[in-house]
């Protein structure tokens, strides 16, 4: 596993950000947007810092983009990126982070599961000198035991494979300072696990704890199969451990096979009874065949990721940009 434990940081107090960017990726969120708009308007009235809202439409198939553009027309502080198709949450978030111009940026989901009221606490930590303030969930309402169980397994696996310091019970909801964001934006890998990349970047990081709400409307865009793919991509992107496990598995199988080979030769030479042992032969062949196939499969996963990375394609393609002051290259 890659070792990049965070070091001790000296905190220096800083003024509040001159501009705070709220980056919100949206995919098929037409049911959520009216509530989000209302809640944000009420919340921003209480906030003293200047805010820009960067909404990213991740190739939605419903009326999301239409609603976002309408919002944009009525409020010049709202900027909208429309992606050319669905690029997935991590790439949509990356598009928003790249386009944000604030001194501090907060990444938040559209469904209001992460309460806006936590943001002032995040800003206070930013002023204390922290570069990353991540939301850590104390509880999660409105989610099935299955989602909670898979989420807790997810963090156990991720801490083993991605980063031992990756905080448990966190999502992508976090405040990031400009210098940390610049570091993250300079990483162009296709298979993105933003939480891991932000932890990898280092800087002073601290949690704010909160109770996670249920979705205000609509359904989760992360079904189990997408979660598994997300976790697998994160593991492969961050860790060579699966390759080492497959190597260890191969070595153990070869060792057992070698021992059995010696035993078979011994029997053939001493007892001359080579026909018996057919069952064992089949078992060993399948065991070794399985080990070889698993190893090849894992190797194949890495090769396919290398193949995709070396094509060097853009992480997302922006189709429309609305209310941005100047063109931002993707």
Binding site for Mg ion (CB under 5 A): 109, 111, 113
Instruction: Assess 233 for contact with ligand UDP (CB under 6 A).
Output: no
Strand order in the sheet with 19-26: 205-212, 132-140, 170-177, 104-107, 19-26, 50-57, 78-83, 318-322
Q: Give the residue with the Cβ less far from Mg ion, 163 or 221.
A: 221
Stretch that binds ligand UDP, among 13-21, 46-54, 109-117, 273-281 (CB under 6 A): 109-117
Instruction: Assess 96 for contact with ligand UDP (CB under 6 A).
Output: no
CA distance 170 to 207: 9
User: How many residues of this chain bind ligand UDP (CB under 6 A)?
Assistant: 16
- Least Å from the CB of residue 27 to ligand UDP: 3
- Least Å from the CB of residue 100 to ligand UDP: 15
DSSP for 211-267, written as a single string: EEPPPSSS--S--HHHHHHHHHHHHHHH-SHHHHHHHHHHHHHHHHHHHHHHHHHHH
Instruction: Assess 89 for contact with ligand UDP (CB under 6 A).
Output: yes
Instruction: Assess 111 for contact with ligand UDP (CB under 6 A).
Output: yes
CA distance 37 to 34: 5
Q: Is 54 exposed, middle or buried (0-12, 13-18, 19+ CB in 10 A)?
A: buried
DSSP for 260-306, written as a single string: HHHHHHHHHHHT---SS-HHHHHHHHHHHHHHHHHHHHHHHHHHHHH
Select from ligand UDP, Mg ion, none the partner in contact with residue 263, using the beta carbon and a kind-dependent cut-off of 5 to 8 Å.
none
Stretch that binds ligand UDP, among 43-51, 108-116, 121-129, 259-267 (CB under 6 A): 108-116
Instruction: Assess 173 for contact with ligand UDP (CB under 6 A).
Output: no
Residue 319, C-beta contacts closer than 8 angstroms, at least 6 positions apart: 82, 83, 84
Instruction: Assess 167 for contact with ligand UDP (CB under 6 A).
Output: no
Instruction: Assess 230 for contact with ligand UDP (CB under 6 A).
Output: no
| Under 8 Å between Cβ of 55 and 80 | yes
Given 101, 160, 220, 330, the residue binding ligand UDP (CB under 6 A):
220
Q: Give the residue with the Cβ less far from Mg ion, 29 or 131.
A: 29
- Least Å from the CB of residue 75 to ligand UDP: 19
Given 113, 205, 206, 246, the residue binding ligand UDP (CB under 6 A):
113
CA distance 53 to 58: 16
| Under 8 Å between Cβ of 126 and 133 | yes
User: x/- binding map, residues 56-85, to ligand UDP, per CB under 6 A?
Assistant: --x---------------------------
Stretch that binds ligand UDP, among 20-28, 69-77, 177-185, 188-196 (CB under 6 A): 20-28
Task: Return the biggest CA–CA distance within the chain.
Answer: 91
Q: Give the residue with the Cβ less far from ligand UDP, 140 or 178.
A: 140
Q: Which residues bind ligand UDP (CB under 6 A)?
A: 25-27, 29, 58, 86, 88-89, 92, 109-111, 113, 220-222
């Amino acid at each position: 596993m890659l070792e990049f434990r965070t070091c001790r940081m000296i905190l220096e107090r800083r003024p509040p950000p001159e501009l705070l960017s709220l980056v919100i990726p949206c995919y098929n969120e037409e049911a959520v947007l009216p509530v989000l708009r209302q809640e944000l308007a009420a919340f921003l009235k209480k906030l003293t810092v200047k805010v820009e809202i960067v909404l990213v439409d991740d190739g939605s198939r419903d009326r999301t983009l239409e609603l976002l553009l309408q919002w944009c027309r009525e409020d010049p502080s709202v900027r909208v990126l429309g992606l050319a198709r669905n690029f997935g949450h991590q790439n949509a978030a990356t598009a928003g982070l790249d386009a944000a111009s604030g001194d501090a940026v907060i990444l938040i989901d559209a469904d209001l599961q992460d309460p806006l009221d936590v943001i002032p606490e995040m800003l206070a930590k930013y002023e204390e000198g922290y570069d990353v303030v991540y939301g850590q969930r104390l509880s999660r309402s409105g989610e099935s035991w299955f989602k909670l169980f898979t989420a807790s397994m997810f963090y156990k696996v991720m801490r083993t494979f991605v980063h031992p310091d990756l905080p448990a019970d966190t999502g992508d909801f976090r405040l990031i300072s400009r210098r940390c964001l610049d570091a993250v934006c300079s990483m162009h890998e296709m298979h993105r696990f933003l939480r891991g990349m932000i932890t990898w970047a280092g800087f002073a990081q601290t949690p704010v704890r909160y109770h996670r709400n249920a979705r205000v409307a609509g359904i989760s865009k992360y079904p189990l199969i997408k979660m598994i793919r997300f976790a697998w991509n994160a593991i492969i992107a961050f860790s060579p451990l699966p390759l080492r496990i497959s190597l260890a598995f191969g070595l153990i199988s070869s060792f057992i096979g070698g021992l059995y080979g010696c035993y078979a030769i011994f029997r053939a030479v001493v007892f001359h009874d080579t026909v018996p042992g057919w069952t064992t032969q089949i078992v060993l062949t399948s065991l070794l065949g399985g080990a070889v196939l698993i190893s090849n499969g894992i190797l194949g996963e890495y090769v396919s990721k290398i193949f995709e990375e070396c094509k060097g394609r853009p992480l997302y393609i922006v189709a429309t940009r609305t209310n941005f002051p100047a063109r931002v290259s993707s």
